[in-house]
Amino acid sequence: MAAADVAPLPNGSEGTRTRWKYLDRILDRPGPFTDPDSFAPGNHETLEIAKVLHSGAGGLGCEILKNLALSGFKDIHVIDMDTIDVSNLNRQFLFRAADVGKYKAEVAAAFVEKRVKGVSITPYCGKIQDKDEAYYKQFALIVCGLDSIEARRWINSMLVGMVDGNDPDSMKPLIDGGTEGFKGQAKVIFPTMTSCIECQLDMHAPRAAVPLCTLATIPRQPQHCIEWAHIIAWEEERKEITLDTDDPEHITWLFQKALKRAEEFNIPGVTYSMTQGVVKNIIPAIASTNAIVAASCCNEAFKILTNANPFLGFPGTDGYMMYTGDESVYTYTFEYEKKEDCPVCGEDALARPLQIDPEATLQEFVDSLAERPEAQLKTPSIRTTEKSLYIQSAADYERMTRPNLEKKMKDLTAEGEEMLISDKAFPMMFKFSVVWKK
């Protein structure tokens, strides 16, 4: 047992760690579940010198910054490219009405730095993609509170790619959280050792898009009318203006269009709020759920770096916690198996089988890649071992390969052939083998 170094003095000007009295009990005393080989009682340095990165200063991000600072971390970095919107204020508690329009990362960092003495928070107002391996390498771990699956996949593949078998320090644990309404999840990934975001991609399947012909000819739901205004009417009537979903005039225009179309078809239920929800793909979010998921992420970060208790994600143990609060409280903690043919962390040589309709055109196949749970690629470039089918990464290639879009898949490739797909959103290649859909 470490001696108490926190003898209370009367006037509030005590020793440097007096304020960490509660935290230090945990750091100074081993518990029944701590691993004696990895836990050193009385070690306060690890937390003080560890550099941690947090990406996303939104709903989860505000909570995560607060939690990291009050977990004893001293050197925190935060990345976020967004500015503050009025609809953030119901949960992003580091922002005030006067901050609307300012960069989230900057305001959040300054707030927490001021509130929690002794912590340094370095903001970067930009994209995670602006940063390279050397940047990510400086951190002990990375916590993510991102709102897009693309960003998660990007950082995941960056961290997996950084792992060098000869350098244990090159493996950076990734802790990721997400919420929707009263539900949320927190997970820990040890790149290359445990299943990665890409392995788990089918858990983040996008909602199936409504077929274009339904929107164009037989709408039935208010959402169909809104999508029609969004995808078809805008293109036809206001092509010269770039749609800005944050511009109330634009949303109002879409709403009016959708409303008029709904009236033509006797469809009830189009509202301004629904228009906004559909066009911006709004996911309901509340402070409570952010608090649960963010704290779970930070609890794991704290345990990983201090070894104060076992953490999620140790290979062969649970790495994923799902929280559901709609009906009573239910948590499910489990291990997600690593996929051997994962394009990011799996064996290089393995190609995953991909079912393709031989009668579909290449255009239809390209469109389907955005929705297929195992791919989710919006701007794919496709090659087979024989030829380039469609390349959209460069304008010249795009023009040259465009005529292929009308051809049928059976005329472009063959069963069993290997297909390489890349996407500018991701730094890696996806390797598939063609399987004809019966």
Say if CB 108 and CB 95 are below 8 A apart.
yes
User: Exposure pattern of 131-158 as b/e (b: 16+ CB <10 Å)?
Assistant: beeeebeebbbbbbbbbeeebbbbbbbb
Q: Say how far apart CA 8 and CA 127 lie, in whole Å.
A: 45
* Contact yes or no for 390/381 (Cβ under 8 A): yes
> Residue from 49, 96, 209, 411 that binds another protein (CB under 8 A)?
96
Binding string to another protein for residues 239 to 278, with x set by CB under 8 A, is what? ---------xx-xx--xx--------xxx----xx--xx-
Which is nearer to another protein, 3 or 134 (by Cβ)?
Answer: 3
Query: Active-site residue among 213, 298, 342, 345?
Result: 213
By CB under 8 A, the residues from 109 to 168 that bind another protein are 115-117
The verdict on 326 binding another protein (CB under 8 A) reads yes
Q: How far is CA 420 from the centre of its chain?
A: 24
Q: Which residues in the 413-432 window bind another protein by CB under 8 A?
A: none
Stretch that binds another protein, among 27-35, 76-84, 128-136, 401-409 (CB under 8 A): 27-35
Q: Which amino acid is at 21?
A: K
- The minimum distance between CB 390 and another protein, in angstroms, equals 23
For the record, the structure tokens of 99 come out as 């901050």
Provide the token pair at 311: 């953490």
Residues 6+ apart with CB under 8 A from 435: 353, 354, 355, 356, 415, 416
CB of 350 to another protein, least distance (A): 31
Cα-flanking dihedrals φ and ψ of residue 134, to 5°? -60, -35
Q: Which of 40, 286, 370, 429 binds another protein (CB under 8 A)?
A: 286
Is 213 one of the annotated active-site residues of the chain?
yes
What mask of x and - would describe binding to another protein in positions 39 to 78, judged by CB under 8 A?
------------------------x--xx--xxx------
The CB-of-37 to another protein minimum distance in angstroms stands at 18
- Residue 18 interacting with another protein (CB under 8 A): yes
CB of 19 to another protein, least distance (A): 4
Residues 205-244 interacting with another protein (rule: CB under 8 A): 218-221
Q: Tell me if 217 sits within 8 A of 229, measured CB to CB.
A: no
295 binds another protein (CB under 8 A): yes
d(CA 16, CA 92): 31
Binding mask 173-212 for another protein (x = CB under 8 A): --------xx---x--------------------------
Nearest alpha carbon to residue 226 among 265, 178, 194, 199: 265
Which residues are marked as active site?
Answer: 213
